[in-house]
Structure 1
Amino acid sequence: MKRATLFGGAAALALWGGAAFAADIPAYEAAPAVAAPVPSFTWSGPYLGLQAGYGWFDADNRVNGFKPDSSPDGFTVGAYAGYNHQLENSPLVLGVEADINYTDGDARRGTRGFTGASDTRIGNDVGFTGAVRARVGYAFDRFLVYGAGGLAFADHEVKARATAPGGASGSDDTVAVGWTIGGGVEAALSDNVTARVEYRYSDFGTDSFSVAGSRVKSDLTENRVMLGVGYKFSSGW
């Protein structure tokens, strides 16, 4: 009987000690689940856009010792498409872009270079322009500052129109090919919609035209400012 009482007391003491020890252990709560980080904006992916602006053209013409230069300035509207790749964990953005545009640039300049005493107006007409360019940019999250350069082309026509009896008339055209360089700033208005403003300079080279029996050499250049709105597809498209 005494042994049972002693055993029961020891058991009770052990249980009381275990409870007291457990009470002394600090309670630890489970760490709250950490939400997955929201991915930052990326410029990677294909895109399409529309653009409009104004082009200041200079056409340096030379015919029979005369220089009837003209400036076929005009409004420009067009479309562009390209692909950007933003390097991983880097603000550097590399891309390629092509565009095609229509312009209403048309100008005339008077000269006596064709038939001596009779007046003839020499004109330059630019119908469409386009380019294929490489782009390099630096991203500030949803803002992109970029430079671009590459191949440029234009539908260039030279016209001669008589303004007096005996004057010469005629026209000739070619697709002038040259180079372009420029830059701009682009902003992501949403994950898919972007807007940009861009300046570019283009030199379409010097071409020879056969107009009304005379050889006309013409060098065409352009300064242009464009505004564009684009749609960027997801990078996994």
Structure 2
Amino acid sequence: MGAMVALLAGGAASAADLPAYEPAPAASVPSFSWTGAYAGVQAGYDWFDADNKVNGFSPQSKPDGFTVGGYVGYNQQLNGSPLVLGIETDLNYSGADSSRRFGAGSGVRNKIDFTGAVRGRIGYAFDRFLIYGAGGLAYADHDVKGRGGGSDDTIAVGWTIGGGVEAALGDNVSARVEYRYSDFGTDSFSVAGSRVKSDVTDNRVLLGVGYKFSSGW
């Protein structure tokens, strides 16, 4: 009997020496994903630089003004990663215009009616906040007029780059602010018998509100 008691006591002591069981830590799962299609509206302010060359003169105009438009796109957040990849296109009405006189009573006017872009996006998500950069193809409806009459227009095509910050305000609504720089290249225009070469660049700041169609946030 004494031997059995000693054996049980020794077993209990050995069990007490074993390390306590600890469950494996649970994998961190983000509260929502940025993956999905979305659409939104945006408004802001843009300021252009139009470098013109005509008849030996170089009149530079600076069209600027408010802009409003819309955008659609798709994001894909990589599984288990804060990295977000996407593609987006937008179209905006501008109406920015400016004129510059040169020579003896001559002048040139640059007017931008609308702009648009198709851009790839890459971002880093902090849960409901997304910091992103974007770049791609940009285009603009550029109209050039002469002071004495005559006008010509074209769809100027170039490139754009920029970035911004976006925040999820709810399950399907987000808001963002972004800066964008665009270079629409150089185009030639025939205005009142003169050839005008114009190089246009643009800076803009935009505020946007979007709606995400896919569930999963």
Bin for the TM-score computed over the shorter chain: 0.7 to 0.9
1:200 lines up with 2:180 in the alignment: yes
Is the CA contact (8 Å cut-off) linking 1:158 and 1:209 kept in structure 2?
Answer: yes
Is the CA contact (8 Å cut-off) linking 1:152 and 1:202 kept in structure 2?
Answer: yes
Shift of 1:105: 0.4
1:217 lines up with 2:197 in the alignment: yes
Is the CA contact (8 Å cut-off) linking 2:40 and 2:70 kept in structure 1?
Answer: yes
Q: Which residue among 94, 97, 115 is the counterpart of 1:129?
A: 115
**Partner residue in 2 for 1:67:** 58
- 1:175-210 CA-partner distances (Å, limit 9, x unpaired): 000000000000000010000000000000000000
Q: Which residue among 37, 42, 48 is the counterpart of 2:33?
A: 42
Shift of 1:230: 0.2
Is the CA contact (8 Å cut-off) linking 2:29 and 2:80 kept in structure 1?
Answer: no
Gaps of 5+ in 2: 1-27
1:111 lines up with 2:102 in the alignment: yes
Divergent runs of 4+, >4 A: none
Q: Name the aligned partner's letter for residue 123 of structure 1.
A: R
Q: Which residue among 74, 77, 91 is the counterpart of 1:83?
A: 74
Is the CA contact (8 Å cut-off) linking 1:133 and 1:149 kept in structure 2?
Answer: yes
| Alignment root-mean-square deviation, CA | 1.4
Q: Distance in 1 between matches of 2:35 and 2:212?
A: 9
Q: Which residue among 197, 200, 209 is the counterpart of 1:229?
A: 209
Q: Name the aligned partner's letter for residue 40 of structure 2.
A: G
Q: Distance in 1 between matches of 2:158 and 2:32?
A: 36
Q: TM-score, normalised by structure 1?
A: 0.78
Q: Name the aligned partner's letter for residue 125 of structure 1.
A: K
Cα distance change, pair 149–173 in 1 and its aligned pair in 2 (3 A): same
Partner-residue secondary structure (3-state), 1:60:
strand
- The count of corresponding residues between Structure 1 and Structure 2 is 189
Give aligned-pair identity as a percent: 74
Cα distance change, pair 38–207 in 1 and its aligned pair in 2 (3 A): closer
Q: Distance in 2 between matches of 1:103 and 1:210?
A: 23
Cα distance change, pair 39–93 in 1 and its aligned pair in 2 (3 A): closer
**Larger strand share, 1 or 2:** 2
Q: TM-score, normalised by structure 2?
A: 0.85
Is the CA contact (8 Å cut-off) linking 1:172 and 1:209 kept in structure 2?
Answer: yes
Is the CA contact (8 Å cut-off) linking 2:30 and 2:127 kept in structure 1?
Answer: no
Shift of 1:235: 5.0
Q: Which residue among 147, 163, 167 is the counterpart of 1:183?
A: 163
Is the CA contact (8 Å cut-off) linking 1:62 and 1:217 kept in structure 2?
Answer: yes
Q: Name the aligned partner's letter for residue 45 of structure 1.
A: G
Shift of 1:111: 1.3
Partner-residue secondary structure (3-state), 2:186:
strand
Q: Distance in 1 between matches of 2:185 and 2:30?
A: 46
**Partner residue in 1 for 2:133:** 147
Q: Name the aligned partner's letter for residue 150 of structure 1.
A: G
Is the CA contact (8 Å cut-off) linking 1:176 and 1:205 kept in structure 2?
Answer: yes
Larger radius of gyration: 1
Q: Name the aligned partner's letter for residue 140 of structure 1.
A: F
Shift of 1:84: 0.1
- 1:129-165 CA-partner distances (Å, limit 9, x unpaired): 0000000000000000000000000000110022xxx
Q: Distance in 2 between matches of 1:72 and 1:39?
A: 45
